[in-house]
Structure 1
Amino acid sequence: MRIVIVAGARPNFMKIAPIIHVLQDRIAAGIDFSFRLVHTGQHYDTLMSTTFFDELHIPKPDVNLGCGGGTQAEQTAAIMVAFERELLAHPADLVLVVGDVTSTMACSIVAKKMHAKVAHVEAGIRSFDLTMPEEINRMVTDSITDYFFTTSSVATNNLLHNGVAPQAIHFVGNVMIDTLLKQQPNFRKPFFFDAYGLQPKSYFVLTLHRPSNVDSESHLQETLKEILANTHGLPIIFPIHPRTEKLVTSLELDASQLKIVTPLGYLEFNYLVQNAKAVITDSGGITEETTIMKVPCLTLRDSTERPETVSIGTNELVGTEPKSIQEPLSRLFAGNWKKGGVPELWDGNAAVRIVAVLEQLIAS
C-alpha cells in the first residue's frame, strides 16, 4: 500500500509522529507499506514546523510544497495545485490526513478527484460553529473520507448521525496523546523559566490565536485586563505570534506579570503546561493535553469540538465575554476545580490501532 501522509501546520506534527513510527516498525517487519511524507508548508517558520520534526523524530519530509501565507482561499488553492502535481508525480493508494487545518481539507479534495482513498485521523469532531474555518474543513473532509479514525464516542456518533456507514468508522483513540505520553519524560525547562523565577503550580500559561479573541483591539484589551485582575499577581507566560505581539504591546496594560515569549517547541511548551497552576487558552488541542496532565484549563470560546475534555477532563468552557473569566478563576484559587479523568482509549496506542486497520485493508 502506497500511503501519502500530509502535514501542514503545527498541530499536525504531533499527530503524524506516532503513526509514522508504527508504520516504520511494520515496514521493518515486512508488511507491504510504503509512505511518502508531504509537508504543505502551511506553517512555514522554523518555530512552527522544523523544530517539531526534530523534537518528535519525524523524518525529513519527502517534499515541502511551500504553500505558506495568503488568505484562506489563496492558501487552499495553492495547496490544491501543488498537491495535485505531487500526486501526479507520486501516485498513492491512500492519502492520510490529520486534524482540521486548511491542508487537511485541500489535500483530501485533491486525493478524491485523483481516485485515491482518503483516511481522516480525528474524524467526526464538531464544534457546530460555522464561523470557525476549522469546522468547515472538518465537514468537507468528512464528507469525502473513506476511512474514519475517531478519538471519542462523541465523534463516532457525529459521523453516524451524518449517515456514515458504521464499518467505515474506527474508534482508535487520540494520537495526540500517543505523542504526549511518549515525550513526557523528555519535556525540558524553557530557558526563561529560572530567569522569571517561575515555581511549579505558581504561574499561568496563556495562549490566544483565534480571530474572535485577538483581532479586536478593544476585546483583547478587556480580556487581558480581566485575566490580569483575577490571577492574584502570578506570572502569566504568553507564547505569542508576532502579529498578536504587536497588538498586545500597543495596549494600555499594567502588565508586569505578563511575560511575553516567542512560540516554543513542543518539549518546552509542555514542560510549562505540566507545571502550570492552570492554562488559559482558545486552542482545542491544548485542552486534550491538559486533560491528560491533570492541569486545570479555561477555554475562552463559546463552543468546543472536544467536549470530552469538559465532560470528562479538566477543561471548562468559559466563553468569550471577558467578565466571564472572573468566576472560574475564583473557583480555581479556592481549590474547587474538578479533578477530571482520562477519556476512553487515550492510552498512547491510537497509532497502533490505526496501522492495524491499514494492515487489514491490505489483506482485504
Structure 2
Amino acid sequence: MSMTVSCESSRAPVLCVVGARPNFIKMAPLLDAFASARSPIPFRLVHTGQHYDVAMNEQHFRALELPRPDVSLEVGSASHAVQTAEIMRRFEPVVEVEAAAAVLVVGDVNSTLACALVAAKLGVPVIHVEAGLRSFDRAMPEEINRVLTDQLADLLFTTEEGASANLRREGIDPGRIHFAGNVMIDSVHRCLPRAISAADTLKEVGRSTPRCYGLITLHRPVNVDDRVVLSRLLETLAACAADLPMIWPLHPRTRARIEAAGLMPRLSVSGLHVLPPVDYRRMLGLLAGACVVLTDSGGLQEESTALGVPCLTLREGTERPVTVIEGTNTLVGTDPGAIYRGVAEVRAGRGKRGRLPAGWDGRAAERIAAVLGPWLARQRHREVA
C-alpha cells in the first residue's frame, strides 16, 4: 500500500474513493468542482485497486485527467467477500491517519460499500453520490452494495427523481437526500470535445470505419458466466453483425469467459470487429459515432441517452429506469428475437431517440459541491460546539 499526503489546507479532508472504471468517470468532475468551488473543499483521492488491470487503470486516469491518487490500497482481484474485507482492512488506518471530515463514495462497486462500512463504524460521515438507484434484483452484487451504502450514508445525492423516491420509501430522512443530476454526464460534456473518433481508433488496428455500426459491451456475470447464455448471445450478436457491422471492445473478464467456454471461434465472423479494451475517450468516440449500442452496462445506458444514441440493454431490468422512460434505452434481455428486432428498427431508421432527463446538463458536480461545502461547515461547527 502506498500513501502520499498533501497539505493544501488545514481543514480535514474528504476522502474520495474510487475502485473501478465507472468510479473514475464519476469522480473526475467532482474533484474539479471541489477544487474550483468558491470555498474549495479539501480532498484526498483514495484508489482501492479493485480495478486491478494496471494498463487499463493508467489509461482511464490519463483520459479523464484525474490526479494521481494520494492513497493506493492495491487490493486487486478476489471473491466479493475477500475483496470487500481486504478493502476494509486497508482503508481503516487511512481514515484514522487522515482524520477525515467525511468519506465520499460513488456508484455501487465493492469499494463503495467497503469504505462506507469502515467510515460508519468509525463515526465518520458517509456521502453517497448516485444514491437510490434500484434494480430490485438482489441477485446482483451491485444491488446489495447500493442498498446497504444508502442505509449507511449521511448525505445522499441522486441522479433521477425516481431514485429519490426509492430512498424515501426505504425510510431515509428526506433532509439527507439531494437531487443533483448525473455526474456521469458531466464527464461526457467534459471529454466529448477531446474524444478520439471511431475512425482514428479503427485506423490504429488497420480497419476502416463502417458508415453505420453497432457498439457492443458485455461483462455482467449473468450474461458471461453461464455458458448457455453466453453461447446464445454470441450467436445472436454474430447474426446481427451480418446485417449491421458491430464494434466490440472486449472486456478482459469477458474474453476470459469466452476462452474458458471454448467459444472464441464465434468472434471470427464477418462484420464483427473485436478490439482490445479502450480508454474512456476512445469509448466515447465509438459511442458518439454509433447507430446503436448493445450493452449490459449501466453507465452506457446513461451515456447513450446523453448522446441520443439508441441503446438495446441486454438485461431484463435496469436500475436506471429514466433511461427507458425518457431516454434512448430499450430493454431487450437476451432473447434473440427481441435483439434482432431492436437492431432492425435501427437499420430502418426508427431507433429510439428520447430526451435528456432533468439534471443531465453537465453541472451536477457543481450542484453537489454547492451543497457539500456548507454541509461540511455545519459539521465542523457542531464538533466545535
Please indicate, yes or no, whether the TM-score normalized by the shorter chain is above 0.5: yes
**Residue in 1 that maps onto 2:202:** 193
1:234 alignment counterpart: 244
Q: Which residue of structure 2 aligns with residue 344 of structure 1?
A: 358
Looking at structure 2, the residues matched to 77 and 341 of structure 1 have their Cα atoms a distance apart, in angstroms, of 41
Change (3 A) 1:230 1:16: same
Q: Secondary structure at the match of 2:105?
A: strand
Q: Is the 8 A contact 1:47 1:265 kept in 2?
A: no
Q: Work out whether residues 248 and 273 of structure 2, in 8 Å CA contact, stay in contact via their aligned partners in 1.
A: yes
Q: Is the 8 A contact 2:210 2:245 kept in 1?
A: no
Distance verdict in 2 for CA 1:165–1:233, change over 3 Å: same
What CA distance in whole angstroms lies between the structure 2 residues aligned with 1:57 and 1:225? 38
Deviation of 1:327 after TM superposition, in Å, equals 2.0
Which of 266, 289, 292 in structure 1 is aligned with 2:303? 289
Aligned match of 2:334? 320
1:150 corresponds in structure 2 to 158
Q: Which amino acid aligns with 1:162?
A: E
**TM-score, normalisation: structure 1:** 0.95
RMSD (Å) for aligned C-alpha atoms:
1.6
| Equivalent residue for 2:66, pick from 51, 58, 62 | 58
The whole-number CA distance in structure 1 between the counterparts of 2:20 and 2:180 is 22
Distance across 1 between alignment mates of 2:54 and 2:281: 15
Deviations 1:60-92 (A, max 9, x none): 100110111110001000000000021122121
| Deviation by residue 1:284-305 (Cα, 9 ceiling, x = unmatched) | 0011000011111100001100
1:302 and 2:316 matched: yes
Give ranges in structure 1 of 5+ residues lacking alignment: none
Deviation, 1:362, is 3.5
1:176 corresponding residue in structure 2: 184
Letter in 2 for 1:334: A
Q: Which one-letter code corresponds to 1:21 in the other structure? A: D
**1:224 offset after TM fit, Å?**
1.7
Structure 1 contact 47–263 (Cα < 8 Å) conserved: no
Cα deviation for residue 232 of structure 1 reads 4.2
Contact 2:217–2:250 at 8 Å: present in 1 too?
yes
Partner of 1:67: helix, strand, or coil?
Answer: coil
Look up the match of 1:136.
144
Residue 166 of structure 1 aligns with which residue? Answer: 174
Distance 1:90 1:203 in 2: 49
> Do the aligned partners of 2:217 and 2:251 also contact (CA within 8 Å) in 1?
no
For residues 322-358 of structure 1, give each alpha carbon's deviation from its aligned partner in whole angstroms, at most 9, with x where no partner exists.
Answer: 3431222222222222221000010011000101111
**Deviation of 1:242 (Å):** 2.9
TM-score (norm 2): 0.90
After superposition, the Cα gap between the structure-2 partners of 1:357 and 1:269, relative to the gap in structure 1 and judged at 3 Å, is same
User: Once structures 1 and 2 are overlaid, which stretch shifts more, 257-266 or 78-87?
Assistant: 257-266
Q: How far apart, in 2, do the equivalents of 1:192 and 1:342 lie?
A: 28
Report the equivalent of 2:276.
Answer: 262
Decide whether the 8 Å contact of 1:205 with 1:238 is kept in 2.
yes
Q: Give the C-alpha shift of residue 238 in structure 1.
A: 1.2
**Larger mean Cα displacement after TM superposition, 175-184 or 313-322:** 313-322
The unaligned stretches of length 5 or more in structure 2 are 1-11, 379-385
User: What SS class does the counterpart of residue 127 from structure 2 fall into?
Assistant: strand
Q: What amino acid is the match of 2:351?
A: W
- The residue type paired with residue 295 of structure 1 is V
Does the CA-based 8 Å contact 2:14-2:104 persist in structure 1? yes
